[in-house]
Structure 1
Amino acid sequence: MVVDLFIPCFIDQLYPGTGWNVVKILEKAGIEVNYNPRQTCCGQATFNSGYWDGSRKSAEKFLKDFPNDRPIVIPAASCAGYVRNHYPELFKEHPDKKEDVDRVCKNVVELTDFLVNHLKIENFEACFPHKVTYHDACSALREYGIKDEPRRLLSNVEGLELRELPDNTTCCGFGGTFMVKYVPVSTAMVEQKVENALSTGAEYIVSTEASCLLNIESYIKKNELPIKTIHIADVLARF
C-alpha cells in the first residue's frame, strides 16, 4: 500500500525527528510512504483565527499537493479533524472544488487511527521502559474522535507502564492563538494539566498532538519540573 504523508507545521518546524519517526513506523508496517516536499500548511491556524480567505488559499494548495486517491496520513488529529470537518464549509460556495474536497476528506486519516483501524496493527515491537501518562488533546478527542487507539498502541510497548491522567478530558490550555491572547487562563490550565500528570508518578506525558506537547513542555521547562513530553510516534519508533 502507498500512502501520502502530511507533516503538520509544528512537527515540521519544531519536532522534525517526530516526522522521521512517523515514516519509520509506517515503513515497518510495510507501507510505502510518499512525501510531497511542496506541502505547507493545512490552513487550520488562520481558520481558527477567523481569516477564512487566507485559510481557503492554504486549503486550495493542500488540495493540489494531495491529488491522489489514497490515504493521507497525518500525525496530528487537529489537522486531520480540521480538514475533514471544515474544508467542506470553506468551499461550500465553490462547487468546482467539491470533487477534490470530497476526495481529500475521504482520504485524510490520523496516524493512530490509521495504524489501529485501517492496518489492524497494534504492536510495533517497540520498547520504552518508562512510566507514562496520556494526554487526550481536545481536537483528537472531540473533533476527530480518537481515544482508545493511542492507548491500545501504548499498551503493546514493552516496558511501558501507562498511568491514566486525572481529568483527562480537560484542555491543556493551548488552543492555538488562545495561549497567546489569554495567557493567564492558558497558564492556569497547563499548570493543572502538569500537576495532574505529576500526581500519577509518570516520567513522560504522551500525546498525538505536537502543539499540545509544545505548550506543556514550555511550562515544564520554565518551572524545571521532573517530567518530560513525547509524541506517540517517538514512542512507537523505539524498536
Structure 2
Amino acid sequence: MVGPQPWCGLTTQPSVDAVRVALFVTCLVDGLFPDVGKATVALLERLGHEVVVPRGQTCCGQMHVNTGYAGQALPIVRNHVRAFADADVVVAPSGSCAGSVRHQHAHVARAHGDAGLGDEAERIAERTYELSEFLVDVLGVTDVGAYFPHRVTYHPTCHSLRVLRVGDRPLRLLREVRGIDLVELPAAETCCGFGGTFAVKNADTSTAMLADKMRAVLDTGARVLTAGDSSCLMHIGGGLSRLRAGVRPLHLAQVLASTADRPAEVAR
C-alpha cells in the first residue's frame, strides 16, 4: 500500500515504483467535464502508473451532508467504500470530493450507528489523495513533463485550501511547466462564491463574490484560469463566458497533461 511519504525535493522523475491508481472520477467530472478525467489518466500514465476506474463509484455524498441530509448520504458512503475497497491508492481531481472522503465519510457512518463502516471509510480516506497531493507528496514529483505556453493564473479552491490544506503544491507543479507564464491572482484565497447549493440558496451574495473573483482574474491579463476543482471553474468560467472575456477555464490536470505533442485546447 502506498501511504504519505516525507518526500519534498523537486525532481523530474517519479520517486516511487509504478503505482496502481484507482481514479475517483467524481460525479461532476463524469457528467459534465469528462476531459478532466481523461487528462488525469493521461498524466498519471505518462508518469508510468497504471490507472483503473472502479465501475461501481458514484457521488461522494458531499452535497447531501453539506445541506443537512447526512442520513441520506449513508448509502452513498457505503457504496464508495465498496467501490474502492481493493484500491491501494485513490486519486481524485477534486479537492472538494477528496475532502468529503477524508473528513465526512467516517463521521457520517459512525454518527448513524455503523462503526464498522466508519472504520472501513477511514481506511480508504487514509489512502485517498487530491491530484496535486498525490503528485507531490506520494510520487515526489513537481516536473511532470508538461508544456503549456500560455499566460495562466491559479485559483486555490476553498476545500483544497482550507479542508485538505494542499498549500502551494499546485503552484509548485505549475511553476515547472515549460513555456508557462504564471501570474499571481489578486486576493487569490477569497472564495469564488460557488459553494455548491450556496450559489442557489444565496444567489445575490454568490453573484457579488463571483464579480470580485472575475475582476481579479481579468486584472491578471491571463488567457487561462486553472484550479483543482471543476465546480469552481464552472462557476467562474460561466461568469467569464457571459462577459465574453476570452479567458478559458482549464482544470489543473489538463494543464499538467498538456505536452508539445498533445497540447491542451485553449481557444474557445
Short-chain TM bin: over 0.9
- 1:23 maps to what in 2? 41
8 A Cα contact 2:107 2:118, kept in partner: no
**Is 1:209 the counterpart of 2:229 in the alignment?**
yes
Q: TM-score, normalised by structure 2?
A: 0.87
**Is 1:56 the counterpart of 2:74 in the alignment?**
yes
8 A Cα contact 1:46 1:54, kept in partner: yes
Equivalent residue letter for 1:68: D
Deviations, residues 102-148 of structure 1 (Å, cap 9, x unaligned): 21111111111000110011112211111111001000000011121
**Is 1:37 the counterpart of 2:55 in the alignment?**
yes
- What is the deviation of 1:96? 2.1
- What is the deviation of 1:165? 0.7
**Is 1:103 the counterpart of 2:123 in the alignment?**
yes
Instruction: Give unmatched runs, 5+ long, in structure 1.
Output: none
Instruction: Give unmatched runs, 5+ long, in structure 2.
Output: 1-18, 260-268
Pick one of 176, 189, 213 that aligns with 2:209.
189
- 1:81 maps to what in 2? 99
8 A Cα contact 1:137 1:207, kept in partner: yes
8 A Cα contact 1:69 1:103, kept in partner: no
Moved more, 129-138 or 93-102: 93-102
- What is the deviation of 1:29? 1.3
8 A Cα contact 1:22 1:233, kept in partner: yes
Q: Does the C-alpha gap of structure 1 residues 98 and 183 become closer, same or farther in structure 2, counting only changes over 3 Å?
A: closer
Indicate the SS of the match to 1:170: coil
Pick one of 138, 141, 166 that aligns with 1:121.
141
Runs of 4+ in 1 over 3 A off after TM superposition: none
8 A Cα contact 2:56 2:79, kept in partner: no
Whole-Å separation in 1 of the counterparts to 2:180 and 2:91: 25
- What is the deviation of 1:91? 1.4
Indicate the SS of the match to 1:190: helix
- 1:157 maps to what in 2? 177
Equivalent residue letter for 1:50: G
Indicate the SS of the match to 1:162: strand
- What is the deviation of 1:204? 1.0
Indicate the SS of the match to 2:104: helix
The structure where helix makes up a greater share of residues is 1
- What is the deviation of 1:225? 1.5
Equivalent residue letter for 1:165: L
8 A Cα contact 1:132 1:203, kept in partner: yes
Equivalent residue letter for 2:88: R
- What is the deviation of 1:69? 4.9
Indicate the SS of the match to 2:43: helix
Whole-Å separation in 2 of the counterparts to 1:67 and 1:87: 14
Whole-Å separation in 1 of the counterparts to 2:215 and 2:170: 22
- 2:7 maps to what in 1? none
Whole-Å separation in 1 of the counterparts to 2:210 and 2:172: 25
**Is 1:170 the counterpart of 2:170 in the alignment?**
no
- Length, aligned pairs only: 239
Whole-Å separation in 2 of the counterparts to 1:168 and 1:28: 30
8 A Cα contact 2:229 2:251, kept in partner: yes
Equivalent residue letter for 1:35: V
Q: TM-score, normalised by structure 1?
A: 0.97
Q: State the percentage of identical aligned residues.
A: 38
